[in-house]
Amino acid sequence: MKVLLADDQRLVRTGFRLILSVEPDIEVVGEAADGRQAVDAVSRLHPDLVLMDVQMPVMDGIAATREITAASDAKVVVLTTFDRDDYLFDALDAGASGFMLKNADAEALVAGLRQVHEGYALLAPEVTRRVIESRLGGVSPSDDSETDGIRTGGIGTGDPRLEALTARERDVALQVAHGLSNAEIAAELYVSEATVKTHVSNCLSKLGLRDRVQLVGFAYESGLIRPGEA
């Protein structure tokens, strides 16, 4: 996995480089001190993944993420000190494949990068519930139906976008929304892992989605799954 580090603080970049340099399957191919440098470095170095700070001079990490995901196949994990909803949702809307806080330990960071590189979504546990609530489009405080503490009123059903998927693709999308890995989905549906990968790819292609983060959001928005379902 080739990784580009984008952070305006040299000491932070050095720390990340030290953490990642001991991993045999990870190579830090470059560094950037601002968003514009990050965009330019991606075009030169073709990293698999960019570890992106938010607050940087010249161009912030959100704008850089938007340009990078639009122009390349590089995946972006936004890593910030600030647990703010606007950073979180702007990063996901810009095409980021993951969002972590800088208080994560080294093991969680490395595991998270590997997870994104393998095509999975990555959200810090602290923000997952807020993503779900936001993707529901906002529900009225007067709604009485609740599941596991999240109101379920107002979730659409019969979303026309679901018609683009075959029955098996819907099954796979549902399992992705439940948080299962490809291997776990294969065992659940009695198919091969390669078949699951094909179905996930088909779902993303048909729905115009970039990755599994967006597929999970779609599952909630469309009513394919309700918050709190097992």
| Structural domain includes residue 79 | yes
Please, are residues 8 and 34 in contact by the beta-carbon 8 Å criterion?
yes
CA distances to 8, 17, 39, 211 from 47, in Å: 19, 14, 11, 17
Q: Quote the domain boundaries for residue 210.
A: 149-221
| Structural domain includes residue 144 | no
Which has more confidence, 229 or 72? 72
Question: Strands 75-80, 98-101: parallel, antiparallel or unpaired by DSSP?
Answer: parallel
Task: Tell me what percent of the residues of the chain surpass a pLDDT of 70.
Answer: 81
C-beta pairs of 200-209 under 8 Å, 24+ apart in sequence: 200/119, 200/172, 200/173, 200/176, 202/165, 202/166, 202/169, 203/165, 203/169, 203/172, 203/173, 203/176, 206/164, 206/165, 206/169, 207/161, 207/164, 207/165
85-93 vs 61-71: helix crossing angle, rounded to 10: 20
Please, are residues 100 and 79 in contact by the beta-carbon 8 Å criterion?
yes
| 141-169: pLDDT as tens digits | 334 333 333 333 333 445 788 888 998 99
| Structural domain includes residue 172 | yes
Domain CATH for 92: 3.40.50.2300
116 and 155 assigned to the same domain: no
d(CA 135, CA 155): 10
- Count of the separate structural domains present in the chain: 2
Please, are residues 105 and 15 in contact by the beta-carbon 8 Å criterion?
no
Q: Specify the DSSP class assigned to residue 161.
A: G
Which has more confidence, 14 or 97? 14
113 and 164 assigned to the same domain: no
| 182-224: pLDDT as tens digits | 888 888 888 888 898 899 989 988 988 877 777 877 887 787 8
Predicted structure pTM score: 0.64
172 and 111 assigned to the same domain: no
80 and 175 assigned to the same domain: no
Domain CATH for 198: 1.10.10.10
Mean pLDDT of 28-56: 96
Q: Specify the DSSP class assigned to residue 82.
A: -
Which residues fall within 8 angstroms of residue 148, CB to CB, at 6 or more apart? Answer: 227, 228
